[in-house]
Amino acid sequence: MGRRRGIMSERFKEELAKELGFYDVVQREGWGAIRAKDAGNMVKLAIQLAEHHLANKTKE
């Protein structure tokens, strides 16, 4: 069974990794080298940003 294609763009993932402080690992070793905790924090941050964006959009 193949991997599912991600929803987040590569650029967005890179920005999240930079903000969370593990982009250097991604650059050196690729996405497979990040810790599960870092991946979880990346998803959590992406959800928070999406919720914030939607909340601001509904206020308009």
pLDDT tens figures, 12-51 = 999 999 999 999 999 999 999 999 999 999 999 999 999 9
Q: Is 54 part of any domain?
A: yes
Q: Is 3 part of any domain?
A: no
Structural domain boundaries enclosing 30: 10-58
Q: What pLDDT is recorded for position 43? A: 95
16 burial type by CB count under 10 A (0-12 exposed, 13-18 middle, 19+ buried): buried
Q: Is 46 part of any domain?
A: yes
| DSSP string for 1-60 | -PPPPPSS-HHHHHHHHHHHT-HHHHHHH-GGGS-HHHHHHHHHHHHHHHHHHHHHHHH-
Q: Is 4 part of any domain?
A: no
Q: How confident is the model at residue 1 (pLDDT cuts 50, 70, 90)?
A: very low
Number of domains in the chain: 1
Kindly tell me if the per-residue pLDDT of 6 is higher than 90.
no
Q: Is 5 part of any domain?
A: no
Overall pTM > 0.75: yes
Q: Is 47 part of any domain?
A: yes
Q: Is 1 part of any domain?
A: no
